[in-house]
Amino acid sequence: MVNIENLHKKFNKNVVLSGVDLTINEGGIFAVLGPNGSGKTTLIKSILCMVIPNKGNISVLGENIKNNAAYRHKIDYLPQIANFPNNLKVKELIKMIKDLRGKTEADKQLIELFGLEPFLDKKLGNLSGGTKQKVNIVLTFMFDSPLIILDEPTTGLDPISLIRLKELIQTEKANGKTILITSHIMSFVEEVSDEIVFLLEGKIYFKGSISELKTKTNQPDFEHAIASILTNNHA
Amino acid sequence: MLKILKYSFYDLMRSRWSYVYLAFYLLLGTVLLFLNNDLSKAVITLMNVIIVLVPLIGTIFGVMYYYNSKEFTELLLAQPLKRSSIFLGQYLGVAISLSMSLILGLGIPFILYGLFKSSAIWDFSLLLITGAFLTFIFTALAFNIALSNENKIKGFGYAILLWLFLAIIYDGIFLMSLIMFEDYPLDKLSLVGTMLNPIDLSRTLILLKLDISALLGYTGAIFKKFFGTNFGLIISFIMLIIWVILPTLRIVKKSRKKDF
């Protein structure tokens, strides 16, 4: 599905990724974890070609992504911070993205699911953070792409929406899609993900299932397993 | 690219600033016509205003639009769109809507005053075309500056400096060098000097067309002597086109390598 070879990226002198090799197979939910500044977002943005790597190759569904825009038809991306043009209405934004990407009917159902009907005629600048995130989720899930990338999807969501989001993720998984998630909420990751990738200092420190991580670190639960990696490496 | 252009254009058309800009030109055109009471004279006064003001507005608007639409750009980058079409679309959206404000804002009062019956129609059209060129050139330069500077304040600073340099300082340096090296033949130097500054180039172009020797100045006179009126017009147009193309190419190149 996604194949990353020897990926290097630095911003000025700040080395963020140094030689990441990663293969993500089709189907299932993968969580990319790591401490702040470990390069999770950079890794994801490199897959989307929003960040241009200094070195290395990335291919998505067998296509090399360099100088290629069409492959993004196969990716749905939920950005970390939902920033939208402020003077646009929710309705107009959805219409615009549809115009740019192609037709879909799934938006109506998603709008209903997250209760966004009362906000459709409001300007995006006047929405609260959580509502913006819901709009963001609608925009991401309304297209039927084989790869879904979610960067901190839980930010600002209320408990009901969080449950809906989890259900949505599970439905997409059942449809055979590949989902890539980054999150700081360990309980969320533990609940949804099949496999985790742990980034540390620009490299992949661990890749495997949660139970494998528990055995490796000799810890009874997931949260402590992650904490032990961090303390052992920073002590 | 056309879709992005459409959205940028609508976005700008809905913003208050386009109307302020349009209203300003409407007012300027009307006031000038009332004060001068003569179309040709109004054209000359207008030239002096346009040549300084249009680049300033183009620069400020270009930089402002780029920084303000950063979020929109990031949203677009995750879509299956080419980077060049995103940025060219935005650039053309800004440049076209600014040019439209200029052309409508000045065109309406002049047409109402009886432009079509006057002999000044060609001079006036040339003025508007040059104004549009200047808008395209300076918006492109502004986009270049904004693409190269993450920091808004720095970007604005450089943009204003660029305008100040090309609109005012350049002429000063140019004049000083002509005085300092007056013992040498300066024809070529002054020709090249004029070509390298789009504002000077536009001024020379309009004055050539208006054929007012008193206002032509040294470079204008050399331009006229060297190229003749018609050839001079063509050369200056070609130079203006190059001035649009080069920064536009750099927008494409720069945007391809940028991280978001």
Note whether B82 contacts A: Cβ–Cβ < 8 A.
Answer: yes
> What pLDDT is recorded for position B217?
67
Residues from chain A that touch B77, judged by Cβ atoms under 8 A, are 48-50
Q: How far apart are CA B168 and CA B170, in angstroms?
A: 6
Chosen from B71, B88, B150, B257 to mutate, greatest number of chain A CBs within 10 A: B71
CB contact under 8 A, A96 and B7: yes
Task: Name the pLDDT band for B1 (thresholds 50, 70, 90).
Answer: confident
Residues from chain A that touch B71, judged by Cβ atoms under 8 A, are 83-85
Q: Could you give the strand order of the β-sheet that contains A55-60, starting from the edge strand earlier in sequence?
A: A14-24, A2-11, A55-60, A63-64
Note whether B15 contacts A: Cβ–Cβ < 8 A.
Answer: yes
Alpha-carbon gap: B77 to the closest alpha carbon of chain A (Å): 6
CB contact under 8 A, A79 and B259: no
CB contact under 8 A, B260 and A75: no
- Single-letter residue type at B76: L
- B189: exposed, middle or buried (Cβ count in 10 Å: 0-12, 13-18, 19+): middle
Please report how many Cα atoms fall inside a 13 Å half-sphere around the Cα of residue A121, on the Cβ side.
1
pLDDT digits (tens, 9 = 90+) for B181-191: 878 877 778 88
Interface predicted TM-score of the whole assembly (ipTM), two decimals = 0.83
pLDDT digits (tens, 9 = 90+) for B93-142: 999 999 999 999 998 888 888 777 777 788 888 899 999 999 999 999 99
Residues from chain B that touch A66, judged by Cβ atoms under 8 A, are none
pLDDT digits (tens, 9 = 90+) for B43-69: 888 888 889 999 999 999 999 999 988
Interstrand relation of A28-33 and A195-200 (parallel, antiparallel or unpaired): parallel
> What pLDDT is recorded for position B248?
95
Chosen from B7, B77, B86, B256 to mutate, greatest number of chain A CBs within 10 A: B77
CB contact under 8 A, B71 and A83: yes
Is the separation of the CB atoms in B224 and B216 below 8 Å?
yes
pLDDT digits (tens, 9 = 90+) for B84-95: 889 999 999 999
Note whether B259 contacts A: Cβ–Cβ < 8 A.
Answer: yes
CB contact under 8 A, A85 and B69: yes
**To which H or E segment does residue B118 belong?**
none
| A192 CB-near residues (< 8 Å, 6+ apart) | A29, A31, A166, A169, A170, A181
Residues of A with CB under 8 A from a CB of B: 11, 45, 48-52, 69-73, 75, 77, 79, 83-85, 87-88, 96-97, 99-101
pTM, rounded to two decimals: 0.87
Residues from chain A that touch B13, judged by Cβ atoms under 8 A, are none
| Minimum Cα–Cα distance from B8: chain A residue | A85
Residues from chain B that touch A52, judged by Cβ atoms under 8 A, are 256-259
Q: What is the mean pLDDT of residues B250-258?
A: 90
> What does the block give as tokens for A28?
């299932």
Which letter does DSSP use for residue B197 in this model?
-
B23-46 burial string, b = 16+ CB within 10 Å, else e?
eebbebbbebbeeeeebeebbbeb
CATH number of the domain enclosing A159: 3.40.50.300
Give me the residue from A79, A85, A96 closest to B78, CB to CB: A79
Q: How far apart are CA B47 and CA B53, in angstroms?
A: 10
| Minimum Cα–Cα distance from A98: chain B residue | B79
Chosen from B76, B88, B259 to mutate, greatest number of chain A CBs within 10 A: B259
For the cut 80, the answer to whether the pLDDT of residue B226 exceeds it is no
Higher-confidence position of B239 and B11? B239
> What pLDDT is recorded for position B227?
67
| Percentage with pLDDT > 70 across chain A | 99
> What pLDDT is recorded for position B214?
61
Alpha-carbon gap: B140 to the closest alpha carbon of chain A (Å): 22
Rg value, chain A, Cα: 18
Listed as ranges, residues in chain A with pLDDT below 50 are 235
